[in-house]
Structure 1
Amino acid sequence: MGLFNFLKLVSPRHRIYHKASKIANEVEGHKNYYRNLTDVQLLEESNKLVDLVTKQNYTILDVAVAALALIREVVYRETGEFAYRVQIIGAYIVLIGDFAEMMTGEGKTLTIVLAAYVSALEKRGVHVVTVNEYLAQRDATNATKILKRVGMTVGCNFANLAPHLKQAAFACDVTYTTNSELGFDYLRDNMVHRFEDKKIRELHFAIVDEGDSVLIDEARTPLIISGPAKNEFAAYVAVDRFVKKLKEDEYKIDPESRAPALTELGIKHAEKNFKTDNLFALENSDLFHKIINALTAVKVFEQGKEYIVRDGKVLIVDHFTGRILEGRSYSNGLHQAVQAKEMVEIEPENVIVATITYQSFFRLYNRLSAVSGTAFTESEEFLKIYNMVVVPVPTNRPNIRKDRADSVFGTPNIKWLAVVKEVKRIHETGRPILIGTANIDDSELLHNYLQEANIPHEVLNAKNHSREAEIVAKAGQKGAVTISTNMAGRGTDIRLGEGVAEMGGLYVLGTERNESRRIDNQLRGRAGRQGDRGETKFFISLGDALFKRFAHDRIERAITKLGNDTFDSSFFSKMLSRTQKRVEAINFDTRKNLIDYDHVLASQRELIYKQRDKFLLATDLSDMIDKMLEKFVEQFCDQYRNPKNQNLVNHIALSEALNLELNMHGVISPKLFENMTFDATVHKTHSLIGEKITNKVKVLTPPIALIRFREIMITAMDKHWIEHLDNVFKLREGVTLRSMEQTSPLNVYIRETDILFQTMLQKIARDVIIQIANLATPEEFDEELMKANALKKLQALREAHEKSNEGQ
């Protein structure tokens, strides 16, 4: 073996592919055995594999060859499709928890079914994650027909499904779901007050379809469940009006990060407008935050790009896919800033009740894998963040698609005229054309141009998402002209109509290069599926957003030289490639930075959610309450230490506070603590309160006490966790501005978040102990009721007496 071949085998990517290829060869060797079995015998073989894995300590990798060969035969009998060798290779890569890169049209959907079946042998649940509900329901329906033949159940989870139906879906062997609904269900599961109300049984194995879209593109926006807070309508409107009046020299926008800021003139204008001497004073932090949000909404965001307005609602548009992010809103007041800008109803800014990033969520799975046609350019990110190796799988047939050199134009207007001319030329031949645009505004601009040119066409963008699959499916027919915002329609194959292959296949025309080469590759990948003919070409201008933001100075010099000429330029192609790599690195750093900060909160969230589950599952809470009591007593007694001698305690003040706050009915007196040091006082206080709680359990009876105490503990934990999230988000926003010391903002954030977390735990303990101590027993409740009734009667007698005196 030569050195080159040896190095290929020792690299993880090549080693995994080599192993997967070997498995595929072995699967091929089992073909005749399973072909000769009856349907009943195939089911029996499947049941034997389940027994081996669940009862005899075999792993799914031990039985992978037999299982893949079996399910391959079942698929053939159900659909008439016999899985290609490359699909077996892809299924094995997925099965071991890595990322299979398979080009469009190579059968990723079936590859997922093969891998899902093998993992389902563990009977611990497999989650197949898709980008939208249409794909989830379509794929679940098709998978059901296959997997029921081998004794496996398939469920489909989607929004607005009744809770008991969600439980049924997640109880299945394989569950199809969207990434957003899965994440929200996880958060909602950690808000229930009864463990049996949880929907998801276990986060064991997930297969993410279109993994790059879910794990990278959508990972920039965290999932947030919110609750209503105060409405500051007037404040948002006032700040919006102020920002709209700013002159160009009063604010600036960073061309790369697009982060807005006030200039010195802008700061002085703000201080004068809002009548304050120092905009950066602590008491003005909320005002400053609102100004930055308004600058982002008014000066950075554009309707049709970052968001659209539909029926008086601001809806976020995914920058990469052009899809509306259903149920998502900008956090921390930015959504309200956009609403003020667009003069629609300003909803109350929400308090964050629960939140998680996709990075943190998917790393909770015991095993995670993914498939996509475009992942290789982000290999480093998938490995570092998700511990998945991206393994390219060869196409079943040679790829004969022709990727033409870019055409470069001096200005966007000249480019659009050239695009229309090219579309007209191709359309006259009857060859189908798919045109990719960078945003909704561009798709509607091109729509108007094509209408003027009398070229019939379909438009697919966030405003027309309901017909997504239908439009994409017809895009390969003769004469079809389809405008698609970025990669809307992913997951639906474009099949060529009769005679189209002879014309050269689908012609894909990109109207702007994206920030990521991966997104460009996704558009190109729509042509040339399964060895079909196809052609791709990008028309770009030096005024496109990518050049303006990241290569502005160099482009200005080039425009002067270029004028209105058009040419295929290796110079600009190299510049573009370098720019895209630079932007990819910036975006990776941004996502990595998000993970670094989120990791701190993720570890705290994990602790809180685990503790919450312990509360819900416990049949005896005494140990947990005792730990909280210990935390509470030390903190409570600490308030009454003698400032001159920390070993002494003000026992008079302590006794009064204990009687008052813990409803001790005056039984605690300073004499109980006579001559006690601080440590002895803590021990005695712990004993007194513990005794009270023990007596309360006896009077209530243990089953009733368990229910009442659990509710108190869960409510206190949820209340203070929500408060903690709000504090952490505010800290995250201001930590860079506040960090004046010689340390990184992240280190400041880590230290202060830990302080906030410890404070939260103390608050939870305090609430729980005080509420349990004040919890009325039946006798106390009856006594209080008698006192209340007596007071009512006394008050009634007084009123009657006063009336009788008035009548005299």
Structure 2
Amino acid sequence: MALRDRLRRLVQKPGSADLAPLRDVVGEAGEREPRVRALSDAELTAAANALRLPAATGRRPDGDSKPDAPAKPDAPAKPDAPAKPDAPAKKGAADVDLAEVCALGREAARRTLGERPYDVQLVGTLALLRGQVAEMATGEGKTLAGAIAAAGYALRGRRVHVMSVNDYLARRDAEWMGPLYDLLGVSVGWVGQTSTPDERRAAYAADVTYAPVSEIGFDLLRDRLATSVDDRVLPEPEVALIDEADSVLVDEAMVPLVLAGAVDTAGADPSYADLVRRLRPGRDYGTDVEARNVQLTSAGAREVERSLGGIDLYAADNLAVLTAVNVALHAEVLLQRDVDYIVRDGAVKLISESRGRVALLQRWPDGLQAAVEAKEALDASPSGEILDSVTVQELIGRYPVRCGMTGTAMAVAGQLREFYDLDVTVVPPNKPCVRDDRPDRLYATSADKEVAVVEEIAAAHGDGRPVLVGTGDVAESERLARRLVRAGFEPVVLNAKNDAEEAAIIARAGAPGAITVSTQIAGRGTDIRLGGPPAEKTPGTAPLDDPAAGTHDEVVEAGGLLVIGTGRYHSSRLDDQLRGRSGRQGDPGASVFFTSLQDDLVTRYAPDEEYKGASGDDGLIDAKPAHWIVGHAQRVAEGVDLELHRNTWRYNHLIGLQRAEMLAERDAVLRGDAADRLMAEKTPARHAELVEVAGADDVARAARQLLLFHLDRRWSDHLAFLTDVREGIHLRSLARGLDPLIEFNSEAVPAGRRLLPDARAAAVAAFENLKTSEDGTLDLAGAGLQRPSATWTYLVHDNPFGSLDERTLRGVISLFKGRRV
């Protein structure tokens, strides 16, 4: 084993970092434990403050940020001087006594939280402090390890943003770990969706700030449009410590965060939703094998043309109608209620494919979003022009130091290194995992599979064993629950419809005989403790008087928690996350996945693979070739997701460079006199005239506001232009036989070069025409400086079906093929 590990390190295989240097530091911390335990609280705080270094180089004395200069997409900012994997810490870590940080952090946790961190937790802490992703299994104490690491960074003079996936976790962890930070003399704050600008500013001023990654991104977007330095809330980015790192850095990397401004736009015409609802599958439209595209057949096109009064659907002047019909057809056929979205409180709520939860603030591109709302007969949600956007990858790339923690990093270790220059350190569990991961049970049909799942649940329930069932979507979870009720059981359902109850449901999922049917929502989050809630109240757990408490031994004797998957997910990581709910901290448990050759994963990603062998009377298939088909389908799905990630990066590469140039100009204008000097240079007579009337200070302020407005206006127009270019690029690239990305860049580059000159010229023209009132006040409103009356933030769920032009082209090809036949 040792030889194999050395060979893996030699070729820099992911997860091959040598833990010996980290264990040495932890051992030294253990030797100091008696001395540290003898300190009073005040002495412990003083000892921690004695380690504190001055603020990181470059931080302004007032805590304000330096000019926003995002890392180049092709050269992401590296953690401060990364060392070789075997080094005990990155350069810069040695300036703080890491053994002392661990010793003080362990004692602070013991006193304030009643938890003494295990040695392996401190190994995880040290991995974070050397700028890596620590893979720690479920129940191994990642939250505490991360808090000690965040305190260690703070004592090194660096401000830390601990990024989570939602408001609940940000607030819970900040409040839970608050006493620990307080004893170490480290300030902590948290930001949530409802935080006011003043609350955000105060939270970001703390040494450690917990916040959802989306809220940090939205604050960045708002800061980029600030017209006064005092309006900004975000400080200079220094350290990003990312919880559920694989989810944030991989799954969310393809979802742009958007700041939009209100414009007058109408929702989708409901008549198109009614029209496509009447079309019949097979005759009027067909889908591809992956169910990612749908096209009208020639018969369907004729039916649409007849319904719309005999128009020629493919005439040039009916392109808008064709697009509307196509989008309505996609909403009707490819987006399924209770699978891709739910309807709650009169609104469409998207479901995160990777987490099974409602994707807060997330929406499809406006046309598709409106079409789904029309399909469900709902009022149209606000729509508007995009003022700015940022991808999660670009957001994280701004931080010079990046690290993270998760239970499933190795499966995406290559992507973490490729896109973020992050290595993975695998931290062993405190106690060996004894969970029994059983081989998959493969069935010929979905019906056979569901019968077998219910039988397995019944057998485990009869033994008093708790069962957690992971399903693929909301619809399947509810269908299985109904089947269990008919069989005489009382399952508890957890899905996107009741995700607010997640913590309470999961806390009881380990009680004797409990049956919990869930979507991927149960794949990570609150621990499932055997027997029910813990004896002491912990944030996110059930009440202390829960009757299931104290039954741990009973569940252990029954074999621990049984996890059942009703099908493989599109990523093996999600499978592993579900398995990881069982067997925490050396507890007994088991996991098994039930799959079928009719599962969506197989029919979508391995449609050409066919098994012609036999199956048992119950539909069970033991043949290896059939099992290979399921694994092959999952590998294809993972490859598709990786290519989507790369494609998102490729298209945003150039946009990131152009944005950096624009932001550098904007920051110079916001902080200095660049605008005033521009006006004095380009229109000296008018500048002098206005100074004489209104005074130099007012003229400088007016010049600044004019140039900021036109910079923002040009950038918003540029984003809209690039969206149109990307939508239509496939038609042109096919005609010319070129790579779509090359075609995109050929139009985006010259447009980007015109951005700054055009903005300056527009601002100068507005300055020349600037009017003054009789009292000498400059009339900025009359100069057209009308920013949106309202702005809002959301996440764009990138259209999974390709561009509209690409789909329209496929539809045209399909139509003419049908007519030729």
Query: Shorter-normalised TM-score: what interval?
Result: 0.7 to 0.9
Structure 1 residues 783 and 379: alpha-carbon distance in aligned structure 2, compared to 1, 3 A threshold: closer
Contact 2:443 2:619 in 1 (8 A): yes
The answer to whether structure 1 residue 228 and structure 2 residue 262 are counterparts is yes
Residue 279 of structure 1: aligned partner = 314
The answer to whether structure 1 residue 477 and structure 2 residue 511 are counterparts is yes
1:433 counterpart (467, 478, 482): 467
- Give how far 1:338 is off: 0.8
1:42 counterpart (35, 41, 44): 44
> What letter corresponds to residue 162 of structure 1 in structure 2?
T
Structure 1 residues 765 and 239: alpha-carbon distance in aligned structure 2, compared to 1, 3 A threshold: farther
Residue 599 of structure 1: aligned partner = 653
Residue 77 of structure 2: aligned partner = none
The answer to whether structure 1 residue 611 and structure 2 residue 665 are counterparts is yes
Structure 1 residues 761 and 357: alpha-carbon distance in aligned structure 2, compared to 1, 3 A threshold: same
1:721 counterpart (711, 715, 737): 715
Q: Deviations over 1:596-633 (max 9, x none)?
A: 1012222222222332222221145334557xx7xxxx
> What letter corresponds to residue 712 of structure 2 in structure 1?
D
What secondary structure is seen at the aligned counterpart in 2 of 1:355?
A: strand
Contact 1:16 1:93 in 2 (8 A): no
Provide the C-alpha distance between the structure 2 equivalents of 1:86 and 1:266, rounded to a whole number of angstroms. Answer: 62
The answer to whether structure 1 residue 338 and structure 2 residue 332 are counterparts is no
Provide the C-alpha distance between the structure 2 equivalents of 1:587 and 1:27, rounded to a whole number of angstroms. Answer: 42
1:522 counterpart (569, 572, 577): 577
Contact 1:91 1:114 in 2 (8 A): yes
Provide the C-alpha distance between the structure 2 equivalents of 1:99 and 1:504, rounded to a whole number of angstroms. Answer: 32
Structure 1 residues 16 and 700: alpha-carbon distance in aligned structure 2, compared to 1, 3 A threshold: farther
What's the TM-score, normalizing by structure 1?
0.84
Provide the C-alpha distance between the structure 1 equivalents of 2:175 and 2:5, rounded to a whole number of angstroms. Answer: 43
Q: Deviations over 1:105-127 (max 9, x none)?
A: 11111110111011112444211
Matches within 5 A, 1:398-547: 398-488=432-522, 490-497=524-531, 498-499=552-553, 500-547=555-602
Matches within 5 A, 1:586-665: 586-619=640-673, 621-625=675-679
Gaps of 5+ in 1: 630-685, 785-808
- Give how far 1:236 is off: 5.7
Residue 676 of structure 1: aligned partner = none
Provide the C-alpha distance between the structure 2 equivalents of 1:193 and 1:741, rounded to a whole number of angstroms. Answer: 44
- Give how far 1:337 is off: 1.1
Provide the C-alpha distance between the structure 2 equivalents of 1:723 and 1:411, rounded to a whole number of angstroms. Answer: 52
- Give how far 1:239 is off: 6.3
Residue 8 of structure 1: aligned partner = 8
What's the TM-score, normalizing by structure 2?
0.83
Residue 134 of structure 1: aligned partner = 168
Contact 2:352 2:358 in 1 (8 A): yes
1:62 counterpart (95, 100, 122): 95
Larger Rg belongs to: 1
Provide the C-alpha distance between the structure 2 equivalents of 1:276 and 1:759, rounded to a whole number of angstroms. Answer: 41
Residue 222 of structure 2: aligned partner = 188
Contact 1:225 1:352 in 2 (8 A): yes
Residue 733 of structure 1: aligned partner = 727
- Give how far 1:694 is off: 3.8
What secondary structure is seen at the aligned counterpart in 2 of 1:384?
A: helix
Provide the C-alpha distance between the structure 2 equivalents of 1:438 and 1:744, rounded to a whole number of angstroms. Answer: 36
| Count of aligned residue pairs for this structure pair | 722
Greater RCO, 1 or 2 (C-alpha within 8 Å, sep 6+): 2
Residue 791 of structure 1: aligned partner = none
> What letter corresponds to residue 709 of structure 1 in structure 2?
A
Residue 321 of structure 1: aligned partner = 355
Residue 633 of structure 1: aligned partner = none
Residues 102-111 or 703-712, more deviating: 703-712
1:295 counterpart (329, 334, 341): 329
> What letter corresponds to residue 720 of structure 1 in structure 2?
R
Q: Deviations over 1:512-533 (max 9, x none)?
A: 1101111000000000001110
> What letter corresponds to residue 604 of structure 2 in structure 1?
R
> What letter corresponds to residue 607 of structure 1 in structure 2?
E
Residue 22 of structure 2: aligned partner = 20
Contact 2:106 2:117 in 1 (8 A): yes
- Give how far 1:240 is off: 5.8
Gaps of 5+ in 2: 59-79, 81-90, 532-551, 780-821
Q: Deviations over 1:89-147 (max 9, x none)?
A: 11122122211111101111111011101111244421111122221111111211101
1:691 counterpart (655, 661, 685): 685
1 or 2, which has the higher helix percentage?
1
Residues 220-229 or 443-452, more deviating: 220-229
Residues 706-715 or 267-276, more deviating: 267-276
Matches within 5 A, 1:371-390: 371-390=405-424
Contact 1:231 1:347 in 2 (8 A): no
Provide the C-alpha distance between the structure 2 equivalents of 1:573 and 1:242, rounded to a whole number of angstroms. Answer: 38
The answer to whether structure 1 residue 553 and structure 2 residue 608 are counterparts is yes
> What letter corresponds to residue 748 of structure 1 in structure 2?
E
Provide the C-alpha distance between the structure 1 equivalents of 2:57 and 2:640, rounded to a whole number of angstroms. Answer: 49
- Give how far 1:347 is off: 3.4
Structure 1 residues 260 and 599: alpha-carbon distance in aligned structure 2, compared to 1, 3 A threshold: farther
Contact 2:563 2:590 in 1 (8 A): yes
- Give how far 1:781 is off: 5.8
> What letter corresponds to residue 272 of structure 2 in structure 1?
A
Residue 678 of structure 1: aligned partner = none
What secondary structure is seen at the aligned counterpart in 2 of 1:488?
A: helix
Q: Deviations over 1:37-88 (max 9, x none)?
A: 3322222222221136769999334312322222122112222322112111
Provide the C-alpha distance between the structure 1 equivalents of 2:267 and 2:9, rounded to a whole number of angstroms. Answer: 62
Contact 1:53 1:60 in 2 (8 A): no
Residues 437-446 or 179-188, more deviating: 179-188
What secondary structure is seen at the aligned counterpart in 2 of 1:368?
A: strand
The answer to whether structure 1 residue 768 and structure 2 residue 763 are counterparts is yes
- Give how far 1:243 is off: 6.7
The answer to whether structure 1 residue 363 and structure 2 residue 363 are counterparts is no
Provide the C-alpha distance between the structure 2 equivalents of 1:81 and 1:135, rounded to a whole number of angstroms. Answer: 19
Provide the C-alpha distance between the structure 2 equivalents of 1:78 and 1:480, rounded to a whole number of angstroms. Answer: 33
> What letter corresponds to residue 368 of structure 1 in structure 2?
R
Contact 1:27 1:68 in 2 (8 A): yes
Contact 2:25 2:99 in 1 (8 A): yes
What secondary structure is seen at the aligned counterpart in 1 of 2:362?
A: coil
Structure 1 residues 231 and 562: alpha-carbon distance in aligned structure 2, compared to 1, 3 A threshold: farther
Residue 635 of structure 1: aligned partner = none
Structure 1 residues 270 and 464: alpha-carbon distance in aligned structure 2, compared to 1, 3 A threshold: same
Provide the C-alpha distance between the structure 1 equivalents of 2:446 and 2:51, rounded to a whole number of angstroms. Answer: 61
Contact 2:95 2:156 in 1 (8 A): no
> What letter corresponds to residue 217 of structure 1 in structure 2?
D
Residue 749 of structure 1: aligned partner = 744
Structure 1 residues 193 and 55: alpha-carbon distance in aligned structure 2, compared to 1, 3 A threshold: closer
Residue 701 of structure 1: aligned partner = 695
Provide the C-alpha distance between the structure 2 equivalents of 1:239 and 1:232, rounded to a whole number of angstroms. Answer: 15
What secondary structure is seen at the aligned counterpart in 1 of 2:456?
A: helix
Q: Deviations over 1:683-717 (max 9, x none)?
A: xxx5xx23322442343222111221111122222
Structure 1 residues 374 and 783: alpha-carbon distance in aligned structure 2, compared to 1, 3 A threshold: closer
Provide the C-alpha distance between the structure 2 equivalents of 1:386 and 1:471, rounded to a whole number of angstroms. Answer: 35
Matches within 5 A, 1:81-92: 81-92=115-126
Contact 2:559 2:588 in 1 (8 A): yes
Provide the C-alpha distance between the structure 2 equivalents of 1:521 and 1:124, rounded to a whole number of angstroms. Answer: 34
Contact 1:700 1:778 in 2 (8 A): no
Structure 1 residues 239 and 566: alpha-carbon distance in aligned structure 2, compared to 1, 3 A threshold: closer
Structure 1 residues 488 and 195: alpha-carbon distance in aligned structure 2, compared to 1, 3 A threshold: farther
Contact 2:56 2:158 in 1 (8 A): no
Provide the C-alpha distance between the structure 1 equivalents of 2:418 and 2:365, rounded to a whole number of angstroms. Answer: 27
- Give how far 1:318 is off: 0.6
Residue 571 of structure 1: aligned partner = 625
Q: Deviations over 1:740-793 (max 9, x none)?
A: 224210011112112332344343223201111112245696999xxxxxxxxx
Provide the C-alpha distance between the structure 2 equivalents of 1:532 and 1:624, rounded to a whole number of angstroms. Answer: 69
Q: Deviations over 1:566-612 (max 9, x none)?
A: 24444333332222122111110011101110122222222223322
- Give how far 1:261 is off: 3.6
> What letter corresponds to residue 669 of structure 2 in structure 1?
F
